[in-house]
């Protein structure tokens, strides 16, 4: 009986934490007096690393940069991470769990921390859009497959 329980799939959140957060306002205070609307550039990333047997750290990162012309108004870089215990899952399910399910759990914390940091810096909050991690994961898989497939020429 104990053997069958030890083989049951396990998926548990151990901890969600803010791994890194930075804010820069290199052109303040002068740029704060500008009347022009800044452009906003947002970059997102996901990283999954094994910590120990059955324990994984999933990190979702965001870089938010606003500029007026070529001058930075503010730059926020944030990494929100989660530690997950994942055991006894079929190998073909591990990549989607690490690339879709875990980031979906971590991302709302990142969104809140980024919006809060920007607002505390004296700016209107920038709300990161909802992300379809499944589409993002499938796109990454397709890119990886196209890079590893041999080119056939005749």
The structural architecture, per CATH, of the domain 9-124 is Roll (3.10)
Domain positions in the chain are 9-124
Rounded Cα–Cα distance for residues 23 and 34 (Å):
20
Q: What does each of the 154 residues of the chain score in pLDDT, given as a tens digit?
A: 445 456 899 999 999 999 999 999 999 999 889 889 999 999 999 999 999 999 999 999 999 999 999 999 999 999 999 999 999 999 889 999 999 999 999 999 999 999 999 999 998 888 899 999 999 888 888 888 887 655 555 5
Q: Is there a contact between 77 and 118 (Cβ–Cβ < 8 Å)?
A: no
| Cα separation values, 65 from 12, 22, 42, 140, Å | 34, 12, 7, 24
pTM for this model (two decimals): 0.85
């Amino acid at each position: 009986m104990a053997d069958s329980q030890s083989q049951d799939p396990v998926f548990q959140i151990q901890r969600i934490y803010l791994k890194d957060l930075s804010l820069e306002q290199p052109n303040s205070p002068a740029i704060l007096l500008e009347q022009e609307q800044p452009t906003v550039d947002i970059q997102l990333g996901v990283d999954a690393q094994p910590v120990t047997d059955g324990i994984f750290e999933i990190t979702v990162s965001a870089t938010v940069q606003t500029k007026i012309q070529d001058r930075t108004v503010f730059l926020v870089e944030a990494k929100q991470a989660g530690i997950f215990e994942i055991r006894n899952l079929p190998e073909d399910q591990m990549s989607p769990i690490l690339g879709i399910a875990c980031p979906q759990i971590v991302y709302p914390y990142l969104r809140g921390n980024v919006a809060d940091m920007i607002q505390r810096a004296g700016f209107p909050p920038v709300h990161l859009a909802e992300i379809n991690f499944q589409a993002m994961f499938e796109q990454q898989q397709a890119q990886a497959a196209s890079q590893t497939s041999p080119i056939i020429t005749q």
